[in-house]
Chain A
């Protein structure tokens, strides 16, 4: 690709974990870009023009051409800047297949039960939700432990780490809000260590959302299985409207009835994808 007229723009929203995933990928490659904060209640004509199908962030615009959907943007970044920065995907085709497989595991199998655990209000149902989340965490723990590396990708952050990444700050936030642990060092030693390492990793540490504002805004990510796009139920609030940020959202109070979550309609899990 011709990088002489390199103009990279990222259309995003400050609370979206999918936007951060793209920021981390750009950071791995050392790509400079212009960040544009979108007000999702009042979408810019630029956003609507560049993502006519889903009208969501993140959108990466490179030399005027848009790329949408965070997983797709991350692979695009690896393709477009293959000659520089770290590798996001490994070189070997079988290892690439494994990376893509585990990257999909996060939104498909892991995020939904974690969300359910966070939003189910106590009792047996909450216990069942926590157990379901832990079952999937155990699968990932084993995968990480078997690899024996600092990150899923090896010595540095790669595709699977990016896919799991936001959970490194979201899980502790959920734990604090509901007063219950999910990932303890005791139960998940590899994952626990990975979380700390991920948040301190060079491509990540300077690109994290403001945690206090995130906790109070009611914009924490919703675990819609399948596609990586912003799916917070509330209209997320930009930092400029601090008035709305200061009052904790009622959604996070545990005496609220459990929300029905998930993608549009029911899905059977018999068929693969």
Chain B
């Protein structure tokens, strides 16, 4: 199908997992209704759509929910395959496996470090340790970028692909952490390829208005997220 049909995304504007879904929908030129959720007071629609995890993102397509961001990305790629926009995942099985591998690596290593840097640390030492883990993972990803891009602009080649959107979702919070720690996580001196990749990704039309670029705004929102996490933990 070429048209979007009835598409809705339930999200939180800062969530890396929500951002990646929105970028993917934009890449496919699919119009959708965006609903900002308050995770301290979850909507009935969210609870009904994702009863297992009760969290965002949720994609509703014709009223039917799809949950888990990497699952949503593949769903979007499969439903709207061959509609003009390039595929997020390559066609070759080995290349698909490589993209999935690096996407899993991102959510495993960068995801855990991101939570450690912002939400799970109680001291500056803990934050610094999480930052170090993120930087180490980014250095590995620098190598992965060289391998996957084969000299082109993105992990996906000429066009933004699966690994690009998965990693790209974290860029908003990275900018906020950069401000907190007074230096860049994606340091042009240590990870020059990723630093240039970040510029290109942020400049892409699909990312504009969706990947946050205001560190102050993110940092102002941080206490809200921390309060949600505390409320969740105390249950």
- The interface of chain A, by Cβ under 8 A from chain B, is 1, 53, 62, 65, 67-69, 71-73, 75-76, 79-80, 93-94, 96-97, 100-101, 104-105, 109, 139, 226-227, 263-273
Contact = CB atoms under 8 A, between A and B. Distances in A.
A53 B106 CA distance: 12
A268 B18 CA distance: 16
* Chain B binding surface SS class: helix
A273 B70 contact: yes
A271 B12 CA distance: 9
25 contacts: A1-B92, A53-B105, A62-B94, A68-B101, A69-B104, A72-B97, A93-B79, A94-B64, A94-B75, A97-B72, A100-B70, A104-B71, A139-B52, A264-B112, A265-B112, A265-B115, A268-B120, A268-B232, A268-B233, A270-B39, A270-B229, A272-B18, A272-B53, A272-B56, A272-B68
A227 B94 contact: no
Given A67-B97, A72-B104, A76-B97, A270 B78 contact: no
A268 B113 CA distance: 12
Nearest to B15: A271
A271 B96 contact: no
Contacts of A71: 104
A268 B115 contact: yes
A75 B120 contact: no
A225 B164 CA distance: 24
Contacts of B75: 93-94, 96-97
Given A71-B104, A94-B61, 17 more contacts: A67-B94, A69-B100, A69-B101, A97-B66, A97-B72, A97-B75, A139-B52, A227-B104, A227-B108, A266-B116, A268-B119, A268-B120, A270-B228, A271-B16, A272-B57, A272-B69, A273-B70
B178 interface: no
Contacts of B64: 94
B107 A273 contact: yes
A208 B140 CA distance: 36
B218 interface: no
A216 B72 CA distance: 42
B119 A76 contact: no
Interface in B113-138: 115-116, 119-120, 130
A268 B115 CA distance: 7
B191 to A, nearest CB: 16
